[in-house]
Amino acid sequence: MIYFDNSATTRKKPKSVISQVVNGLTNYSANPGRSGHKASVNCAIAVNEVRENICEFFEATSPENIIFTLNCTDALNLAILGSIKKGGHVITTAFEHNSVLRPLHELKNKGLIELSIVEPKNKNIITASDIEPLIKDNTYMVVTVHISNVDGAITDIKEIGKLCKQKNILYLVDGAQSAGHEKISLKSDNISMLALAGHKGLFGPQGVGVLVLNDNVNLSPIRFGGTGTDSIKLLQPSDRPECYESGTIAVPNILGLDAGLNFVKKNFEIIQSKVAFLSKTLIYELKKINCIKLYTSEENLFGVIAFNISNIDSSIVSEFLNDKYSICVRSGLHCAPLKHKYLSTIEQGIVRVSLSYFNTVDEIYTLIYALKDFVKSFDIC
């Protein structure tokens, strides 16, 4: 099987990730922060070291600002629902995933916020100049994706971060597809909140996401319960990070994520370079096929390549690849309806090839061979 759906979940994990999850299920099988005994304390120390590691990599200010969640969607929900200012105004983009669009529309639909959605003026890149004209007196947050899960388009987060800082507005970045592929710094990118998926470019297991906070962010919890702190209080305490992490946290997943992050740190440049090379090769070869409609530009070599073949429904292509060649790609709408509207692919959907460091150039050529077979078989071009 050739797996090209790494934007959904990186299939192959470094061995250290699996061994750290097992370590979490055996040597660190206890509940951190709930007891004073060795098993619990060792666990709490290990988890805190992971917070430190994440904090350092994303240049946050303190391990207390590293919040573990179920997944990136959970992190985005905490950021969006937890920061709400009633009657306030939020700006987001047409390139967002439903994990951003749906919580924001939930708030809008309830009449709690005003919402503006920007489309880029220039080709397929969201910039500060798209955002700035929409800022109003009651704008309290800007939310943008960093790298689009549909076509790999990158957002100019640095300039938007600067703008938000200058205007004293929160800036929430959805790093689901970019973490592990591009450097992200809370400090130098002026990000208020960064949402991360553990199981994508960071090579961790499914079942852990992260919200990285800046110091100045005031966030209400969205889940309430045991925190291991202030047990006597019937209302949620305010200790950070505990107040956002009610209930037992997923220690094996957190340790697995740590191993994934260490793999990324150690190999960052080679990962970036290999994914860029694979992306470039794929784009180069796709362009040779006459009736390919390519949506990913050659500047966006982040391992997300989107295309269609003529006007053929994207799912017909993906089914052919799956059935005849055991090649896994995703088709249809990629949980980002406004992006598809922007690209005029609501009906057709998009064939998405998403790559990881563990893919090979041979796999790319097999895909190209298979696509040429498709074009020939269906006598399209």
* Residues in region 54-83 near a second copy by CB under 8 A: 69-74, 76-77
* 243-282 footprint of a second copy as x/- string (CB under 8 A): ---xxxxxxxx--x--------------------------
* Residues in region 343-362 near a second copy by CB under 8 A: 346
Report the nearest approach of a second copy to the CB of residue 358 (Å).
Answer: 11
Sheet with 209-213, strands from edge to edge, namely 66-69, 209-213, 193-197, 170-174, 139-145, 88-93, 113-118
Report the nearest approach of a second copy to the CB of residue 268 (Å).
Answer: 22
Taking the least distance from each CB to a second copy, the nearer of 273 and 360 is 360
- Which region among 9-17, 59-67, 129-137, 277-285 touches a second copy (by CB under 8 A)? 9-17
Report the nearest approach of a second copy to the CB of residue 163 (Å).
Answer: 25
- Helix (H/G/I), strand (E/B), else coil: 313: coil
Residue holding tokens 């007196």?
137
* Residues in region 218-237 near a second copy by CB under 8 A: 222-228, 231-236
Report the nearest approach of a second copy to the CB of residue 321 (Å).
Answer: 8
* Residues in region 142-201 near a second copy by CB under 8 A: 197, 199
By CB under 8 A, name the one of 106, 132, 159, 313 that touches a second copy: 106
Q: Is position 9 an interface residue for a second copy (rule: CB under 8 A)?
A: yes
- List the one residue out of 328, 369, 377, 376 whose CA is nearest residue 352: 328
For residue 314, give both structure tokens.
């994207």
Q: Is position 40 an interface residue for a second copy (rule: CB under 8 A)?
A: yes
- Whether 251 and 50 have beta carbons less than 8 Å apart is answered as no
Report the nearest approach of a second copy to the CB of residue 168 (Å).
Answer: 27
For residue 373, give both structure tokens.
């077979």
| C-alpha 20 chain-centroid distance | 22
For residue 131, give both structure tokens.
């955002």
Taking the least distance from each CB to a second copy, the nearer of 88 and 332 is 332
| C-alpha to C-alpha distance for 286 and 284, rounded to whole angstroms | 6
By CB under 8 A, name the one of 39, 112, 276, 294 that touches a second copy: 39
**Ramachandran class of 170: left when φ > 0, alpha when ψ lies in -120 to 50, beta otherwise:** beta
- List the one residue out of 292, 262, 271, 289 whose CA is nearest residue 355: 271
- Which region among 91-99, 153-161, 177-185, 301-309 touches a second copy (by CB under 8 A)? 91-99
In DSSP terms, which residues pair with 354 in a beta bridge?
5, 304
Report the nearest approach of a second copy to the CB of residue 76 (Å).
Answer: 7
By CB under 8 A, name the one of 259, 309, 333, 375 that touches a second copy: 333
For residue 76, give both structure tokens.
């985005």
- Whether 94 and 125 have beta carbons less than 8 Å apart is answered as no
| C-alpha to C-alpha distance for 43 and 310, rounded to whole angstroms | 54
Whether residue 241 has a cis bond before it, omega within 30° of 0: yes
Taking the least distance from each CB to a second copy, the nearer of 152 and 260 is 260
Q: Is position 11 an interface residue for a second copy (rule: CB under 8 A)?
A: yes
